[in-house]
Structure 1
Amino acid sequence: MNEKLALSDEILLSISKPERYIGGEVNSAVKDLSDIKIRFAFCFPDVYEIGMSHLGIQILYGLFNEYEDVWCERVFSPWSDMDSIMRENDIPLFALESQDPIKGFDFLGFTLQYEMCYTNILQVLDLSGVAIYSKDRTWDDPIVIGGGPCSYNPEPIADFFDLFYIGEGETKYRELFDLYEKAKDEGLSREEFLFQCSQINGIYVPSLYDISYKEDGTIKAITPVREGVPSVVKKELCLDLTNAYYPMKPVMPFIRVTQDRVVMEVMRGCIRGCRFCQAGQLYRPLRERDVKKLEEYAITLLKNTGYEEISLSSLSTSDYTGLNELLEFLIDYCNEHKVNISLPSLRIDAFSLDVMSKVQDVKKSSLTFAPEAGSQRMRNVINKGLTEEDILRGAHEAFVGGWNKVKLYFMLGLPGETSEDIEGIGDIANKIAVEYFETVPKEKRNGRTIEIVASTSFFVPKPFTPFQWAPMNTKEEFLDKASITRKGIMAQLNQKHIKYNWHEANASMLEGILARGDRKLSTVIYNVYKRGCIFDAWSEHFKNDIWLEEMEKASLDPMFYVKRERTKDEILPWDMIDCGVSKEFLWREWETSKKGVVSPNCRQSCMGCGGANYGVGICFQPKTGVN
């Protein structure tokens, strides 16, 4: 544990989970300040347990600390009890490793994983004593930089950031650090440094772009304010995933976190092309890590952490071509060393169930299916590539294998959805129950019966997906659809075996506003924060009324962001960013979705999305023409 602590024993004993704030964990980086030219505070703007589960932070934390002249430390959003104490006692927010105030750092970096954390960003800036608006900062403030999925439409929070890093972090940070050291040595102004940052591929500097609007509220033009500023910022991609940096000594948290296991990323990207999925577009093209390298990683990571579970991470692990070979190795090694293997993101088919039978212990946990929509028509609209026959065959195989708990995930509010599509959710849950009773004879049930949990979330259109132009449902429409779903389930013969959960509608609407929002929303975000909104992603802290009041005060109509279908020629708030997938391809897929036509996946046939421009991965592998 740290010898020097920013908080007194009295404070630590008065708050929940003081381990969130003391640092000193195994594998955390401690350096001699005399060798350091750049101090980087890396923030996940949520509580410690969630931030410490994020692989991206572990990768960049480890990478930055490999540099002799850089010390990267961690900071998270203080929970509400700690937030109050810090304000009452004028305690500045500090980094875990050194316990030094964030205000004295060179960089404050945020990973932006979900829109509902935006007020937490302001909380971190405020508690750190860093000017909230970038225009008010001087060299006495850190350079505030954001990255991650939400940086692909950074506009609602653009006024609070100096820089955004667009793309995968392994490639350009060293160049950025070198530029910073040079700017400091040469005595450059902050403004000149930011301009020079704009010359690095993948770095978006919001203050260097002027946004003008038409009378109807849509964007008229996005214009660089200075010659030499690129009109479009192209995402950075890690071209050689196998030889890219990977953290062999991840920081070991003191308390149980959401992902309490070794996480091994087997690939990036996805071949499937689901039209609602932002990650599937942002991380194109699919790139795989070499199996032999992953086998080495597994042994080293388990030795360096002492974890008793290893998880294979990707968007669709079943599509990793080396999965069989990797699992053969892991099953032998993990059985010998009493380590569990976790396999999220598997497609439920005979192969996957066979794999799960080998890796799961005798007590079978629940199986997860994600049909996403209740009817085949809607699954075709969203390009899910999963038929009812696939689902029932998977369920059959699972029941034969001894499983009796099934989780089903669906979305409500998908483009073009009808009542029949929604009622299909109850139908498919019932058919799975019927499949169980037909597959497992009474004498083999051992007193157990089928348990099905159907969960629905509300569809939120995201930038850089074919549905970025789609209208979104209102809160009232969402709740009506949840009611139809519930009635549909209650009408089923096997309803007593089916449980139904649904998501909070107000939070989904706000997520939709922020996901496709523009710079006008920064005033709203600032004002709701000033009125006490933080931890909006936590339902017990979410204050929807305040958000609506502040939107009204700013003369902004939520329905402008939510309900409106965008036209082909509209300039979208994120059009200054190139995610590697062309707008033309996304529009083609939007039009194709309206016809209910399924597009092939990347292994079957190339759809010309633009990912091939990076010259790597799936784009340059032979096409099979089959699923």
Structure 2
Amino acid sequence: MDLSNRLEGLLYRVTKPSRYIGNEWNVIKKDWQPDLTKVVMAFPDLYEIGMSHLGLKIIYHLLNQQGDILCERVYAPWTDMEDLMRKEEIPLFSLESRREIRDFDIFGFTLQYEMSYTNILNMLDLANIPLYSRDRDEAYPLVIAGGSTVYNPEPLTSFIDLFFIGEAEEGIVTLVRKYKELQKQGLKREEILYHLSQLPGVYVPRFYDLKYKEGGVVSEIFINREGVKPSISRQIVSNLDEAFYPVDFIVPYHDIVHDRAVIEIARGCTRGCRFCAAGISYRPVRERKKETVIRLADEILESTGYEELSLTSLSAVDYSDIAGLVKSLAHRYEDKKISISLPSLRVDRFSVNLAKEVQRVRKSGLTFAPEAGTQRLRDVINKGVNEEDIFEAVKGAFEEGWSTIKLYFMMGLPLEQDEDLAGISKLVKDILKLGKSIRSQRKKRMRAIKIHVSVSTFVPKPFTPFQWAKMDGREEIVSKQNYLINNIKGRGLSLSWNDPELSLLEGVFSRGDRRLGPVLESAWRKGCRFDGWSDSFDFENWRHAFQENELSIEEYLRARDVDEILPWDHINMGVSKEFLQQEYQLAEKGVLTEDCRNAGCTGCDICSELNTKLELVGDN
């Protein structure tokens, strides 16, 4: 089907047609040779969200670097484009060649957020691919998925042929080539999937079954075909400094969420916040050398023309030589008016001093994340930050001339009490008072102090010490939000919060199981898509979808027994369940666990289980 000519006469009818035209700066277009394995990477959200995602950029360029592989992109079309495509019978297509998705060998999704799952079903349908894996034969592309939410893939197992568990640089090329080899042998889809399941990190759900007891508790996880591995180990890049990293990033035609040059200076975090899934799922810490970062920065800025460079990591300030790196880059690019940004800051004065260094070109607001309003609860979650650190950080920020500060908190954390919510309000007001006091003392002009407070609802995540914890129900969430709304207000203060129903659904799918597949389909058929967007989210459709499938939302919010089988127990993240149980017990006692960088091994088992270790480049 010649889609290109048809699209030229239609795109003027949709908002932001540049989402669908491709042809951006640094795009890679390969000739469609029959001997190439053709992969299309999909991000189940808008172009401007997906184009900001570093993981997709890495895979796109890594696969296209291979002479025997072609890789193109597709993003979820916005509702106006979807309506046009259905009306004009235009199937989902890739941006580079405008080929329909069914022409590809592999259709790969990156999973970053549970509330994008209905978009996956919608994209499969727009591509004229059966929703359910069981209904596809060799005539359809292999549908695969990976990414940060793939560590509990169970809600999507009905729809995805296979999942890649872990960091894709470590095995995606091997997987693609193996699939092509099996295709050439003329094997049936079932046999192809069986052979692919032998690869490290590959999880083929059809070869595993779950049994349930009353109340939705899993009683058994077992393999249903001989020769299939009983557990799937996360794949990791052991040496980040030597790992592939692209420099010719695609530059979009219109603004995207993070429209700047990005360098991943480190991967992993050892601070051990007990609510943080990323802190577990990206262990251990691995760093790129300072010289490597500078070389990559030079090449990326040269190839893209960006005027902002972001040093990204789960905890960029913990990079071993962060002060030296920031100073080198700031001086290197100051004359070119290229700004440096650090997306993650610690709550301390050191971070403020770094921010001062990197924001010499252009100054923006500072963001700190105390997470909880009292020291007791910060100890429960192992935040490792005390009130003195918080006030030292914000005091330093005000004294250096920052007038706008954003503070992140969570409500609904395990063991939370009324005084913890009150503590958020008190802490915010004390910080505002401190800022106004410093402003009144300054001789130089300073703008009015503004404190933006963001309070999210705690969602228990798999492979964290709080994976067993109960999540607040709707009434509890609304009650707590109303308290904060009534107590954090006035001149200089603003408050934002999550949609309660959206948080509930995130909690359901975060710790969900295979029974949610029919719920997803029901919700999608009722019109659910782009559920993470407030103007698209319709909770009533979801509520009816659960009712139709005789499941309750509340069932998935319950506390889990630490000894029960969890739906994701056959996924091996490398961090032992015993360590997570121990951390859960320490949380109940309010006992801190120190960072293993400083205190030595804390016994999470990641280094021994996945045969890896911390890879640091120096000392602060």
> TM-score range, shorter-chain basis?
over 0.9
CA drift at 1:6: 5.6
Match of 1:565 in 2: 559
Q: CA deviation at 1:241?
A: 0.5
Contact preservation (8 Å) 1:156, 1:520: yes
Give the secondary-structure state (helix, strand or coil) at the position aligned to 2:178. helix
SS in structure 1 at match of 2:214: coil
Residue identity opposite 1:610 in structure 2: D
> 1:240 deviation in Å?
1.1
User: Could you tell me how far apart the structure 2 residues matched to 1:375 and 1:445 are?
Assistant: 34
Q: Distance in 1 between matches of 2:148 and 2:361?
A: 38
Report the counterpart of residue 492 of structure 2 in structure 1: 497
What is the aligned-residue RMSD (CA, Å)? Answer: 1.7
Deviation at 1:621, TM superposition (A): 9.8
1:261 Cα deviation from its structure 2 partner: 0.4
Distance 1:374 1:445, change over 3 A: farther
Q: Which of 610, 617, 620 matches 2:605?
A: 610
Alignment partner, residue 339 of structure 1: 338
1:48 corresponding residue in structure 2:
47
**Aligned 8 A contact 1:104 1:140 in 2:** no
Deviations 1:477-499 (A, max 9, x none): 01111122233335xxxx42222
Assess, with a 3 A threshold, how the Cα gap between structure 1 residues 4 and 621 changes in structure 2: closer, same or farther.
Answer: closer
Code of the aligned partner of 1:599 = T
In structure 2, how many angstroms separate the alpha carbons of the residues matched to 1:273 and 1:93?
42
Distance apart, 1:569 and its partner CA: 1.7
Q: In 2, Cα distance between the equivalents of 1:485 and 1:416?
A: 18
- Offset, 1:438: 3.4
Q: Hey, what's the Cα distance between the residues in 2 that align with 1:81 and 1:468?
A: 38
C-alpha distance in 1, partners of 2:254/2:438? 43
The superposition leaves residues 285-316 of structure 1 with CA deviations (integer Å, 9 ceiling, x where unpaired) of: 11111111111000000000000110000000
SS of residue paired to 1:409:
strand
Indicate if the aligned counterparts of 2:352 and 2:397 stay in contact, CA closer than 8 A.
yes
Q: Distance in 2 between matches of 1:286 and 1:510?
A: 31
Equivalent of 1:552, from 532, 540, 547?
547
Of the structure 1 ranges 439-448 and 33-42, higher mean CA displacement relative to structure 2 is found in: 439-448
Structure 2 Cα separation of the partners of residues 260 and 38 of structure 1: 30
Equivalent in the alignment of 1:186: 185
Return the letter of the residue paired with 2:163.
F
Matched ranges for 1:62-211 at <5 A:
62-211=61-210
Alpha-carbon distance between aligned partners in 2 of 1:566 and 1:7, rounded to the nearest angstrom: 53
Residue of structure 1 in register with 2:426 after alignment: 427
Letter in 1 for 2:604: C
CA contact (8 A) 1:38 1:106 kept: yes
> Following the alignment from structure 1 to structure 2, what is the Cα–Cα distance between the partners of residues 487 and 399?
26
Matches within 5 A, 1:226-241: 226-241=225-240
Name the SS of the counterpart of 1:216 in structure 2: helix
Report the residue type matching 2:63 in the other structure: F
Distance 2:289 2:277 in 1: 25
From the superposition, tell whether residues 254 and 244 of structure 1 become closer, same or farther in structure 2 (CA, over 3 Å). same
Aligned-pair distance for 1:616?
Answer: 3.5
CA distance in 2, matches of 1:421, 1:488: 13
The 8 Å contact of residues 425 and 488 in structure 1, kept in 2 or not, is answered as: no
Partner residue in 1 for 2:574: 580
Distance 1:283 1:117 in 2: 21
State the partner residue of 1:508.
503
Secondary structure in 1 matching 2:484: helix
Partner of 1:600: 594
Does structure 2 conserve the Cα–Cα contact (< 8 Å) formed by 1:6 and 1:99? no
- How has the CA–CA distance of structure 1 residues 134 and 393 changed in structure 2, closer, same or farther, with 3 Å as cutoff? same
Match of 2:534 in 1: 539
Within-5 A mapping of 1:347-496: 347-361=346-360, 364-442=363-441, 444=443, 446=445, 448-490=447-489, 495-496=490-491
CA 1:128/1:452 → structure 2, altered by over 3 Å: closer, same or farther?
same
Give the equivalent residue in structure 2 for 1:273.
272
Question: In the TM superposition, what is the alpha-carbon distance from 1:450 to its structure 2 partner?
Answer: 1.3
Structure 2 distance, partners of 1:277, 1:525, is 26
SS in 2 for 1:431: helix
Where 2:216 maps in the other structure, the secondary structure is coil
Partner Cα distance (1:350, 1:257) in 2: 31
SS at match of 1:13: helix
- Bigger mean CA offset, 506-515 vs 25-34: 25-34
Offset, 1:274: 0.4
Equivalent pairs counted in the alignment come to 617
Pairwise mapping of residues 223-372 of structure 1 onto structure 2 (< 5 A)? Answer: 223-361=222-360, 364-372=363-371
Work out the CA distance in 2 between the residues paired with 1:184 and 1:497: 63
Shift of 1:185: 1.8
Task: Work out the CA distance in 2 between the residues paired with 1:247 and 1:537.
Answer: 29
Deviation at 1:447, TM superposition (A): 6.1
Contact 2:307 2:337 survives alignment (8 Å): yes
Q: Deviations over 1:421-465 (max 9, x none)?
A: 001111111111222233333453626321111111100000000
Per the TM alignment, residue 143 of structure 1 is displaced from its structure 2 partner at its CA by 0.4
SS of corresponding position for 2:158: helix
Distance apart, 1:608 and its partner CA: 0.8
Shift of 1:40: 0.4
Other structure's SS at 1:326 match: helix
| Residues 287 and 616 in structure 1, CA contact (< 8 A), matched pair in contact too | no
Contact 1:460–1:472 at 8 Å: present in 2 too? yes
Whole-Å Cα distance in 1 between the matches of residues 388 and 33 of structure 2? 65
State whether residues 311 and 342 of structure 2, in contact with CA within 8 Å, keep that contact through their aligned partners in structure 1.
yes
Alpha-carbon distance, 1:528 to partner: 0.9
CA contact (8 A) 2:370 2:407 kept: yes
Distance 1:174 1:429 in 2: 49
Equivalent pair of 1:380/1:597 in contact (CA under 8 Å): yes
Single out whichever of 434-443 and 121-130 deviates more from structure 2.
434-443
3-state DSSP of counterpart to 1:509: helix
Distance 2:84 2:493 in 1: 45
Tell me how far apart the structure 2 counterparts of residues 620 and 336 of structure 1 sit (CA, whole Å): 31
Q: CA deviation at 1:349?
A: 2.4
Question: What CA distance in whole angstroms lies between the structure 2 residues aligned with 1:314 and 1:245?
Answer: 16
Relative to the length of structure 1, the TM-score reads 0.96
Percent identity of the aligned residues? 45
Q: 3-state DSSP class of the match of 1:603? A: helix
Indicate whether 1:26 and 2:22 are aligned: no
| Aligned-pair CA distance for 1:337 | 1.8
Judge conservation of contact 2:137–2:188 (CA < 8 Å) in 1: no
Q: 2:281 & 2:15 partners in 1: Cα distance?
A: 37
User: Is the 1:146–1:161 Cα contact (8 Å) retained in structure 2?
Assistant: yes
User: Which blocks of at least 5 consecutive residues in structure 1 are unaligned?
Assistant: none
Give the whole-Å Cα distance in 2 for the aligned partners of 1:255 and 1:375: 43
8 Å CA contact retained: 1:38, 1:70? yes
Judge conservation of contact 2:339–2:362 (CA < 8 Å) in 1. no
Mapped to 2, the partners of 1:312 and 1:45 lie a distance apart of 25
Question: Amino acid of the residue matched to residue 618 of structure 1?
Answer: L
User: Contact 1:93–1:102 (CA<8 Å) still a contact in 2?
Assistant: yes
SS state of the match for residue 91, structure 2?
coil
Q: Which amino acid is 1:250 matched to? A: F
Distance 2:152 2:318 in 1: 28
CA distance in 1, matches of 2:109, 2:97: 19
Any idea what SS the aligned residue of 2:421 has?
Answer: helix
CA distance in 1, matches of 2:363, 2:328: 22
Amino acid aligned to 2:563? D
